[in-house]
């Protein structure tokens, strides 16, 4: 190949031109295949939401203000799954928007990601009264919808936040302190159990728990091939 026709040099010239022109980022459009995948996952998620409807399948419907379906990228490689909505989430109809949600956002950012890159959902979609644990029958009624969301998103890895979420995903009771930090596989998807952000907030200012959660997230980053540059150590 002659150097005049070298596409790498052409690209370098073009990028140099953009930098000189004041551009600070280049948006690479999605391929046709990626666009199709995104729209098919989005359509599937919309269909699941329609199927859920104004759900009254379990007693948690009695006290809720809003169903908290979940949100994020329909083709996320990483999903975070928590236990259930709290008061803030119930009011807004969105997952992880209170103090625990702000900590989760910082955890996601520490991994080098934005909240919009991942998908966030809960095991039950309606707030348990007084923030009690959801009952097995409530989880049993709601879980098929979460399973359908997981199937349509098809993430490369799931982070289970807290004992209830991890136990529901693995289908058994768990002691989080015993199993955190190790990948478990369900239907071929690796699941990393770690602490729920609410638990981490309750444990402040003891940093041991956050440090352990960060170790868990670093393993997830490694699995996803995300670069680790020492960020997150001080969070
Ligand atoms: S928690 Fe799930 S199953 Fe129960 S009412 Fe809400 S959406 Fe329906």
pLDDT of residue 20: 74
User: By alpha-carbon position, which residue is closest to atom 8 of ligand 1?
Assistant: 55
Distance 174 CA to ligand 1 centre (A): 23
Indicate if ligand 1 lies below 6 Å from the C-beta of 121: no
The pLDDT assigned to 1 comes to: 41
| Rounded Cα distance, 108 and 26, in Å | 23
Any residues with CB less than 8 A from the CB of 70 and at least 6 apart, and which?
A: 95, 119, 120, 121, 122, 125, 146, 149
| pLDDT score of 233 | 56
Residue 123 near ligand 1, beta carbon < 6 Å: no
User: 57 in ligand 1 pocket by Cβ < 6 Å?
Assistant: yes
* Nearest-CA residue for atom 2 of ligand 1: 142
The answer to whether the beta carbons of residues 111 and 194 sit under 8 Å apart is no
The residue ranges of the chain whose pLDDT is under 70 are: 1-12, 14-15, 18-19, 22-37, 230-235
Q: What is the DSSP string of 73-122?
A: -TT-SEEEEES---HHHHHHTSSS-SHHHHHHHHHHHHTT--GGGSEEEE
pLDDT of residue 39: 82
58 lines ligand 1 (CB under 6 A): yes
Taking alpha carbons only, the member of 119, 110, 33, 50 closest to residue 81 is: 119
User: In the numeric block, which tokens belong to residue 158?
Assistant: 């799931």
The response to whether residue 169 sits with its C-beta less than 6 Å from ligand 1 reads: no
How far is the C-alpha of 21 from the C-alpha of 227, rounded, in Å? 29
Q: Do you know the residue count of the chain?
A: 235
Question: What is the rounded distance in angstroms from the CA atom of residue 193 to the CA atom of residue 202?
Answer: 18
Binding site membership of 61 for ligand 1 (Cβ less than 6 Å): yes
- Give pTM, 2 decimals: 0.84
> Which protein residue has the closest C-alpha to ligand 1 atom 3?
142
3 state SS of 30: coil
Confirm if 216 and 181 have CB atoms less than 8 A apart. yes
Q: How many CB atoms lie within 10 A of CB 131?
A: 12
Position 38 scores a pLDDT of: 74
Nearest CA to ligand 1 atom 6: 126
Q: Which residue has the tokens 């046709």?
A: 32
Tokens, residue 175: 């002691």
Enumerate domains of the chain plus CATH numbers. Answer: 30-224 (3.40.470.10)
pLDDT (tens digit, 9 = 90+) per residue, 127-165?
Answer: 999 999 999 999 999 999 999 999 999 999 999 999 999
Closest of 230, 46, 61, 231 to residue 152, by C-alpha: 46
Cα separations (Å) of 6 from 13, 14, 26? 11, 13, 21
């Amino acid at each position: 190949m002659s150097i005049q026709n070298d596409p790498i040099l052409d690209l370098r010239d073009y990028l140099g031109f953009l930098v000189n022109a004041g551009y600070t980022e280049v948006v690479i459009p999605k391929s046709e295949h990626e666009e199709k995948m995104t729209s098919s996952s989005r359509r599937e998620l919309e269909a699941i939401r329609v199927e859920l409807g104004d759900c009254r399948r379990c007693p948690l419907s009695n006290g809720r203000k809003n169903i908290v379906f979940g949100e994020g990228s329909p083709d996320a490689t990483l999903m975070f799954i928590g236990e259930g909505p709290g008061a803030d989430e119930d009011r807004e109809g969105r997952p992880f928007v209170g103090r625990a949600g702000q900590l989760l956002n910082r955890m996601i950012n520490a991994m080098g990601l934005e909240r919009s890159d991942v998908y966030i959902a809960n095991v039950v979609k309606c707030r348990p009264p007084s923030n009690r644990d959801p009952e097995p029958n409530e989880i049993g009624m709601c879980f098929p919808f979460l399973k359908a969301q997981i199937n349509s998103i098809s993430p490369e890895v799931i982070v289970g936040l807290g004992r209830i979420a991890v136990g529901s995903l693995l289908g058994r009771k768990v002691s989080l302190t015993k199993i955190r930090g190790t990948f478990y596989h369900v239907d071929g998807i690796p699941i990393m159990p770690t602490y729920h952000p609410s638990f981490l907030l309750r444990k402040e200012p003891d940093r041991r728990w956050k440090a352990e959660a960060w170790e868990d997230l670093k393993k997830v980053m490694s699995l996803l091939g995300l670069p680790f540059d020492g960020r997150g150590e001080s969070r």
